[in-house]
Structure 1
Amino acid sequence: MEAFIQRRKRKAMSEMNVVPYIDVMLVLLIIFMVAAPLISQGVDVDLPRADAEPLPDDQRQPLVATVDREGNYFLNMGDNQDSPMSAVDLATLVAAHLQLDPETPVVVRGDGQVAYAQVVQLMVLLQRAGAPKVGLMTQPPE
């Protein structure tokens, strides 16, 4: 007689191994926890697009704060528009003008050779003076 070998049938495993997915999720969680504070820092600015349209003619004349390559500040209002002014004077003039007309747009015009830190300092100065939004002035592409 043949010996009957009793074979045990194995059931197919219907459970999914989720350990690799948990590992991936933990790595992503760590990456996002590290990156989140870096994203939220900085000055809130509406950056212009490369093909930005010019301001419409019916809009108010914007306040243009300029920083040249030496780091001097200028403002397009007042009697001495071509003479440099201090940061305190610029902030005072912008704050006074924005109290009279809070809807006036504020634009920063920075020299291409000026350090990025000086443009950011000017934007922070304008923000502290009460400008809700600060735009960046550019030249159209050639």
Structure 2
Amino acid sequence: MEDKPFESMNMIPFIDIMLVLLTIVLTTSTFIASGRIPVHLPQASGSALDKDSNRIIEIDAQGRVFLDGKAIAPEALPVATASFPKSTPFLLRADKTVQLQRFIDVADALKQSGFSRVAVQTQQSGRP
């Protein structure tokens, strides 16, 4: 018996494998690029996240303030939150290198606007 040389190669299995690999890459890339503002949170011994927080205020390392991902001037925060009900919970995320005064300005603006449900997000420290 003599073997015949390959005249052509069947590319369909190769294409199927490439499509599966492409699907895996595209699926995992959506988890990597979350689109969040980079904030290095300070550490605390206990860190519990309030799951019903529906408004997020973030302060990045440069001191810029973001309300639900949109940049806002700290002075405009009371005007931007005026339409929210006073029972609206806020989650305050501030970079650990931000000046304390910027953090206090944002927290004070929320307090002056009558919001009492304000939580501060931290990272749990590695200490026991």
- When normalised by structure 1's length, the TM-score is 0.50
Structure 2: stretches of 5+ with no match in the other structure: 1-43
Aligned position for 1:103: 87
Out of 93, 98, 116, the position equivalent to 1:114 is 98
> SS where residue 71 of structure 1 aligns?
coil
Say if 1:127 and 1:133, in contact at 8 Å, map to a contact too.
no
Say if 2:74 and 2:105, in contact at 8 Å, map to a contact too.
no
Q: Percent identity?
A: 19
Aligned position for 1:90: 77
Aligned residue pairs, count:
83
Q: What is the root-mean-square deviation in Å for CA atoms of aligned residues?
A: 2.0
Q: What amino acid sits opposite 1:62 in the alignment? A: N
Say if 2:47 and 2:121, in contact at 8 Å, map to a contact too.
no
Structure 1: stretches of 5+ with no match in the other structure: 1-48
- When normalised by structure 2's length, the TM-score is 0.55
Bigger radius of gyration among the two: 1
For 1:29-108, what aligned pairs fall within 5 Å after superposition?
50-56=45-51, 59=52, 61-76=53-68, 81=69, 83-98=70-85, 102-108=86-92
CA deviation digits over 1:40-84, x for unaligned, max 9?
xxxxxxxxx72233324xx3x4311111122211011xxxx2x42
Matches of 1:69 and 1:140 in 2, distance apart? 19
> SS where residue 83 of structure 2 aligns?
helix
